[in-house]
Amino acid sequence: MVLGLLGAALALGARFFDHLPSGVVVKQKIRGQATVADCLTQFGPAARQRWKPFFERAGVPYPPQKLIFLGLKEEKRLEIYASNGGDWKWIRTLPILRASGKIGPKLRLGDFQVPEGFYKVESVNPNSAYHLALRVNYPNESDRAIAARDGRDNLGGNIMIHGSNVSIGCLAMGDEAAEDLFVLTEDAGRSRVEIVLSPLDFRISKMPPDPNRPDWLQERYARLAQFVQTLPRDPN
């Protein structure tokens, strides 16, 4: 019985890492079956109290109507923006404690890359092996269409913004930051959150030229640059 339960738990955990190549072993802690409501009860009061001064300073009521989580891979920062119908306001910047890979999009299972592009929160995981997690909807429709044209399959997936400080293709934010992001996302509503993952901060840097860069990626970088440049910068 015990072995059966352990096997089921390990199988469930393995599905969280389908972007890993064969032979890579990841040690996970097996957690319970907390609900989203349980996590909001446990972590909500403290997280909302931590968010309060940031939203008050920006003049945006909490919870906001719209959110942007801007992940800057090169700078290892996650910048939070909010709007209640007007201009986007910078709210807070969180350090990305760990993110594997390098500049460049995620293309296939096992490449250890963090995606680049425009994404949504597909789901949340209150029982993540890494405390709490937001699941990014990679591969999205655009990723799948481009891969089909390129003849690529096995795109990987299960990209998370999670706690702890280890990452294989995900953004590891630390446990307290993961609590804050989890509570903010649920308070505002998952559909109101846009996740923008950019190779670098296009407001201060340019992509180095690469003659081998495909046209679709050049176009994606142009879209990301145009979007990121519309956002106010962290004044710090």
Closest CA to 36 of 177, 170, 185: 185
C-alpha 179/C-alpha 46 separation (Å) is 9
3-state DSSP assignment of residue 214: coil
Residue keyed to tokens 């649920």: 186
Q: What's the Cα-to-Cα distance from 68 to each of 19, 133, 147, 188, rounded to whole Å?
A: 25, 17, 26, 11
List, in order, residues 6 or more apart from 218 with CB less than 8 Å away.
none
DSSP state of 20: S
Residue 39 annotated in active site: no
Please state whether beta strands 89-95 and 77-83 pair in parallel, antiparallel, or not at all (unpaired): antiparallel
Q: Is 167:100 a contact under the CB 8 Å cutoff?
A: yes
CA distances in angstroms from 116 to 52, 53, 134, 155, listed in the order given: 30, 31, 16, 13
Active site residue 19: no
- Write down the residue that tokens 């425009």 correspond to: 118
Please give the positions annotated as active site.
162, 170
